[in-house]
Amino acid sequence: MSTPEGVDASSAPVTSSDGPGSSSTRHGAATSRRQPPPEPKDSLWLRRAVILSFWLVVVVLGLPVWWKTTAIYRAELPLQTMTDWADGKICKPVFPLRIAVEAPIAQQDAQHLVRTTQHALDDLNDFSAHHLRLMLLDPPLAPNASQQVVPDGSILEENDKENIALLVRLVSVETGTTPRSRLQPYSPTLDVYYTANQLPSPSSTGSPLATFIAHELHKIFAEEQARLAYLLSTTSGARTAKSKSLSAETAAELERQSTRALKYAPTYHLTFSLFSPTYLPSAWEIEEALQDYLSPLLDSFRSISNFTVDTQVQLYSTFSPSMRQPEYDDVLKAWTLRKEDLSGFINAAEWPLSPSIGAGPTVNFALYVPDQAQSPLLVKENGGNSWLVPQWGGIFILNPADAHEDSTPSFLAKDALAPAMHAFSDQLVSLLGLPQSPASLPLRLSTLTRVRAASLLFSASSTLGALARLYRALPSIPVPDMVAQSVDLTAAHLQHACDSLREGRFQGALEHARIAEGEAEKAFFERSMVGQVYFPDEHKVAVYLPLLGPVAVPLIMAGLKELKSMTGSIFPKRSP
- CA distances to 169, 205, 221, 316 from 124, rounded to whole Å, are 21, 16, 12, 59
Do the beta carbons of residue 501 and residue 95 sit within 8 Å? yes
Answer yes or no whether residue 558 interacts with other proteins by CB under 8 A: no
Task: Decide: is 332 part of the binding site for other proteins (CB under 8 A).
Answer: no
Nearer to other proteins (CB atom), residue 32 or residue 159: 32
Q: How far is the CB of 562 from other proteins (least distance, A)?
A: 14
Q: 365: Cβ–Cβ under 8 A, 6 or more apart, which residues?
A: 270, 271, 272, 273, 393, 394, 395, 396, 424, 427, 428
Residue from the set 287, 532, 557, 561 that interacts with other proteins by CB under 8 A: 532
549 lies in the site for other proteins, by CB under 8 A: no
Question: Which has the closest alpha carbon to 301: 429, 211, 402?
Answer: 429
Tell me how far, at minimum, the Cβ of 279 lies from other proteins, in Å: 46
CA-based torsion, 229, 232, 238, 239: positive or negative:
negative
Q: If binding is defined by CB under 8 A, does position 17 make contact with other proteins?
A: yes
Q: Give, in order, the Cα–Cα distances in Å from 99 to each of 166, 185, 504.
A: 5, 17, 11
Give the number of other CB atoms < 10 A from CB of residue 261: 17
Q: What is the distance between the alpha carbons of residues 481 and 470, in angstroms, rounded to a whole number?
A: 16
Segment interacting with other proteins, rule: CB under 8 A, options 53-61, 291-299, 417-425, 438-446: 53-61
279 is a contact residue toward other proteins (CB under 8 A): no
User: Which residue type is seen at 451?
Assistant: V
Q: Is 550 in the site for other proteins (CB under 8 A)?
A: no
The two counts, helices (H) then strands (E), for the chain are 18, 15
Euclidean distance between CA atoms 247 and 244, whole angstroms: 10
Minimum CB distance to other proteins, residue 61 (Å): 6
Q: If binding is defined by CB under 8 A, does position 4 make contact with other proteins? A: yes
User: Is 10 among the residues that bind other proteins (CB under 8 A)?
Assistant: yes
Q: Is position 16 an interface residue for other proteins (rule: CB under 8 A)?
A: yes
Q: Smallest distance, Å, CB 66 to other proteins? A: 6
**Position 23 contacts other proteins (CB under 8 A):** no
For other proteins, which stretch binds (CB under 8 A), given 63-71, 110-118, 200-208, 345-353?
63-71
Q: Pick from 23, 70, 240, 295 the residue near other proteins by CB under 8 A.
A: 70
6 or 576, CB closer to other proteins? 6
DSSP strand pairing (164-172 vs 189-194): parallel
In the bound state with other proteins, the residue whose beta carbon lies nearer, of 253 and 526, is 526
Binding segment for other proteins among 62-70, 397-405, 420-428, 446-454 (CB under 8 A)? 62-70
Provide DSSP, 230-296.
HHHHHH-HHHHTTSPP--HHHHHHHHHHHHHSPPP-SEEEEEEEEE-SSS---EE-HHHHIIIIIHH
Least spacing, CB of residue 12 vs other proteins, in Å: 8
Q: State the Cα–Cα distance between residues 350 and 355, nearest whole angstrom.
A: 13
The minimum distance between CB 326 and other proteins, in angstroms, equals 51
CB of 51 to other proteins, least distance (A): 8
Of 68 and 404, which CB lies nearer to other proteins in the complex structure? Answer: 68
Cβ closest to other proteins, residue 2 vs residue 159: 2
- Segment contacting other proteins (CB under 8 A): 56-64, 180-188, 356-364, 408-416? 56-64
Least distance from other proteins to the Cβ atom of residue 64, Å: 9
Q: Is 551 in the site for other proteins (CB under 8 A)?
A: yes
Cβ-in-10-Å burial (0-12, 13-18, 19+) of 92 comes to: middle
Q: Binding of other proteins at residue 235 (CB under 8 A)?
A: no
Q: Going by DSSP bridges, is the β-strand pair 327-329/334-337 parallel, antiparallel, or unpaired?
A: antiparallel
DSSP character at residue 74: B
Determine which residue in the list 5, 162, 402, 537 makes contact with other proteins, applying CB under 8 A: 5
d(CA 394, CA 141): 48
Does 20 bind other proteins (CB under 8 A)? Our answer is yes
Does 6 help bind other proteins (rule: CB under 8 A)? yes
Give whichever of 61 and 238 is closer to other proteins, judged by the CB atom: 61
How many binding residues for other proteins (CB under 8 A)?
A: 44
Peptide bond connecting 281 to the previous residue in cis, omega within 30 degrees of 0: yes
Site string for other proteins, 390-429 (x = CB under 8 A): ----------------------------------------
Q: Does 69 bind other proteins (CB under 8 A)?
A: yes
CA angle 247, 391, 224 (to 5 degrees): 35
The candidate with the shortest Cα–Cα distance to 301, out of 510, 512, 517, is 510
- Nearest Cα to Cα of residue 517 among 565, 452, 570, 457: 457
| Between 478 and 508, CB nearer to other proteins | 478
| Candidate residues 7, 141, 349, 570; the one interacting with other proteins per rule CB under 8 A | 7
Smaller CB separation from other proteins, 50 or 150 = 50
Please tell me whether residue 57 binds other proteins under the rule CB under 8 A: yes
Contacting other proteins (CB under 8 A), which of 26, 56, 122, 403? 56
- Which of 171, 418, 548, 556 is in the footprint of other proteins by CB under 8 A? 548
Residue 479 near other proteins by CB under 8 A: no
The amino acid at 338: R
| Burial group, residue 564, by CB count within 10 angstroms (0-12, 13-18, 19+) | exposed
Based on the shown chain and the rule CB under 8 A, indicate whether residue 108 belongs to the binding site for other proteins: no
**Contact (Cβ atoms closer than 8 angstroms) between residue 183 and residue 438:** yes
The answer to whether 476 and 529 have CB atoms below 8 angstroms apart is: no
Give the 3-state secondary structure of 448-503: HHHHHHHHHHHHHHHHHHHHHHHHHHCCCCCECHHHHHHHHHHHHHHHHHHHHHHH
User: Would you count residue 49 as binding other proteins (CB under 8 A)?
Assistant: yes
> Exactly one of 26, 59, 66, 171 binds other proteins (CB under 8 A); which one?
66
Residues forming the site for other proteins (CB under 8 A): 1-17, 19-20, 31, 36, 46, 49-50, 53-54, 56-58, 61-62, 65-66, 68-70, 478, 531-532, 535, 543, 547-548, 551
